[in-house]
Structure 1
Amino acid sequence: MEFGPHLLLATLEGAVGAAVLALTALGLSLVFGVMRVVNVAHGEFYMLGAVVAWFVASAMSAHPAFGFMAAVLIAPAMAGLVAILADRLVLKRLHYDPEATIVATIGILYIMQQTALMTFGPEARPVAPPFNTRIPLPWLEYGENGFNLFYPWGLSTTSYKLFVIAAAAVILVSFALFLSRSRFGLIMRATQLDRETALTFGIPVERVYSLVFGLGAALAAFAAVLIVPIQQAHYLMGADPLLLSFIVVIIGGLGSLRGTVVAALLIGMSDGIISVFFSPTLAKILATLLVALVLVFRPQGLYGKKRA
């Protein structure tokens, strides 16, 4: 297969990764922006979503679509509840101190990881996609008679991968509308801008923090449910999403939805393309180099606002 078709395949794979990364990083950015908490355990909520999706899908012996639909509802809800519980029992008692919460979320990370190891096991396990029709992709070639449309062997994608991209886009647009038009979205933005003023106006800030922490974890778990039919569930699968989410948040700008989406597209697409043509290690090196450049020349990120 020639370079052009290879590039198209790599771009589609990168788009799937970017869609999932945008959802995962959005949850981390939300917690960062509103609570000023560095949630080192964010990747484990992603892992929890994948593991719960496997348990739910395995428990339902009917068509894979039923197990997937149940996992979409149950896994984010369970991850959100676990996050709210962690906030109430740990972070709230530390008064959301920045240094203390880093250590606390590292502890939460290891607790969740080892619990998954004891209950789920060390093996990577697949989840059947609800549908997975292979879709051949056409390609244009210029010949003696002008442009000709043909189908190169191996140039195809699946209906489920296209669904992942579409589902992530719908969630991102819905979340943007939720932030801008709902009452709770207004409360979240008010808490983010000035905690003390929010308290003065009677906003229950600690309750908002709990819900935000739960919502961030639910977004990560939902992203994992989408990707687990493509990548197998594993108890150590939270490390890469955590690293890439931090990179996206730094590049995009703290608390910026638009910055998160743009940075996720940039990192996800480049990661997919570079991994296909070169190596995944090179993709991570370039992403880290980009973070360094952003921190030097634009510390607030692409769409972040400078602190007064």
Structure 2
Amino acid sequence: MEFGPHLMLASLEGAVTSSILVLTAMGLSIVFGVMRVVNVAHGEFFMLGAIFAWAVSTTLGGHPAIGFAAALIIAPIFVGCIAATADRLILRRINYDVDRTIVATIGVLYIIQQSTLMLYGPEARPVEPPFNTRISLPWFEFGENGFEMFWPWGLSITSYKLFVIFAAAFVLFVLWGVLTRTKFGLIMRATQQDRDTAQAFGVPVGKVYSWVFGLGAGLAAFGAVLVVPIQQAHYLMGGDPLLLAFIVVIIGGLGSLPGTVIAALLIGMSDGLISVFFSPTLAKIIATFLVAMVLVFRPQGLMGKN
């Protein structure tokens, strides 16, 4: 395959990576933006989403689309409820102190991870995609006979990976609508701007924090449900999404949702391109280098406020 088609294929793989990454990082960014909490357990909520997706699809049986559709609804809700419960039982009791919340979420990380190991086991288990048709992609060139279209061998993508891209875009659109067009979004933004003033005007800040913490975990779980037909579910799969989500949030700007989207696209696309043409390890090295450059030259991130 020539360079052009190869680049197109790598770009599509990068778009799939960006789609999962933007959902995971968006959950982390919302939690920090509203609550000022660095959720170290965010990757484990991602992992729980994948585990619940496997459990739901296995329990329901039948056509893979039935279990997958149910998992898309059930897993984020379950994980969101677990996160909201953790907020009420742990984070609220330490008054969301910056240092203590980091230690507390590390504890939540190990509790979730080891509980999953005991109940689920160490095996990696697959979830069958609801559909997985191989779609051949055309390429265009200007040759001796003018404009020509042909189908290079190997230039293709599965219908499920295209679904992942569109599903992530749809969720982001719905999230934007909720944050900008609903009363809940207004309350979230008011709480983010000034917690004490919002509380003085009757906003139940404690409940808002629980909902926000649950929403952040639910977004990560939704991303995990989308990715688990591509990657197998296992109890240690939360580490890489957590690292990449932190990289995205730092580059985009802590608490900046537009910055999170831009940084997720930047990191996801570069990860896909570099992984295909060079190596996945080099992609992680470059991502870490970008974080270092942002911290040195623009500590507030690409779209963060000074």
RMSD between aligned alpha carbons?
Answer: 0.9
Looking at structure 1, the residues matched to 272 and 121 of structure 2 have their Cα atoms a distance apart, in angstroms, of: 29
Q: Which amino acid aligns with 1:220?
A: A
Shift, 1:144, TM fit: 2.4
Aligned to 2:3: 3
Looking at structure 2, the residues matched to 29 and 139 of structure 1 have their Cα atoms a distance apart, in angstroms, of: 38
Aligned to 1:186: 186
TM-score with structure 2 setting the length? 0.98
Aligned to 1:131: 131
Contact 1:22/1:264 (<8 A) preserved = yes
Alignment of 1:262-273 (within 5 A): 262-273=262-273
Shift, 1:200, TM fit: 1.3
Aligned to 1:15: 15
- SS of the residue aligned with 1:18? helix
Aligned to 1:24: 24
Looking at structure 2, the residues matched to 31 and 258 of structure 1 have their Cα atoms a distance apart, in angstroms, of: 15
Looking at structure 1, the residues matched to 287 and 188 of structure 2 have their Cα atoms a distance apart, in angstroms, of: 30
Shift, 1:234, TM fit: 1.0
- Work out the percentage of aligned pairs sharing the same amino acid: 73
Looking at structure 1, the residues matched to 234 and 273 of structure 2 have their Cα atoms a distance apart, in angstroms, of: 24
- SS of the residue aligned with 2:157? strand
Alignment of 1:75-114 (within 5 A): 75-114=75-114
Looking at structure 2, the residues matched to 152 and 282 of structure 1 have their Cα atoms a distance apart, in angstroms, of: 28
Deviating beyond 3 angstroms after TM superposition, the runs of 4 or more aligned structure 1 residues are none
- SS of the residue aligned with 2:255? coil
Looking at structure 2, the residues matched to 190 and 298 of structure 1 have their Cα atoms a distance apart, in angstroms, of: 27
TM-score with structure 1 setting the length? 0.98
Aligned to 1:66: 66
| Residue 49 of structure 1 pairs with residue 49 of structure 2 | yes
Contact 1:176/1:257 (<8 A) preserved = no
Which deviates further from its counterpart, 196-205 or 161-170?
A: 196-205
Looking at structure 2, the residues matched to 19 and 160 of structure 1 have their Cα atoms a distance apart, in angstroms, of: 13
Looking at structure 2, the residues matched to 53 and 246 of structure 1 have their Cα atoms a distance apart, in angstroms, of: 24
Looking at structure 2, the residues matched to 178 and 35 of structure 1 have their Cα atoms a distance apart, in angstroms, of: 18
Looking at structure 1, the residues matched to 283 and 34 of structure 2 have their Cα atoms a distance apart, in angstroms, of: 30
Q: Runs of 5+ in structure 2 lacking a partner?
A: none
| Residue 171 of structure 1 pairs with residue 171 of structure 2 | yes
- SS of the residue aligned with 2:232? coil
Contact 1:125/1:233 (<8 A) preserved = yes
Looking at structure 2, the residues matched to 144 and 198 of structure 1 have their Cα atoms a distance apart, in angstroms, of: 68
Looking at structure 2, the residues matched to 26 and 61 of structure 1 have their Cα atoms a distance apart, in angstroms, of: 32
Q: Which amino acid aligns with 1:176?
A: W
Alignment of 1:179-258 (within 5 A): 179-258=179-258
Q: Which amino acid aligns with 1:119?
A: L
Question: How many pairs are equivalent?
Answer: 306
Q: Runs of 5+ in structure 1 lacking a partner?
A: none
Q: Which amino acid aligns with 1:16?
A: V
- SS of the residue aligned with 1:301? coil
Looking at structure 2, the residues matched to 147 and 117 of structure 1 have their Cα atoms a distance apart, in angstroms, of: 57
Aligned to 2:290: 290
Aligned to 1:304: 304
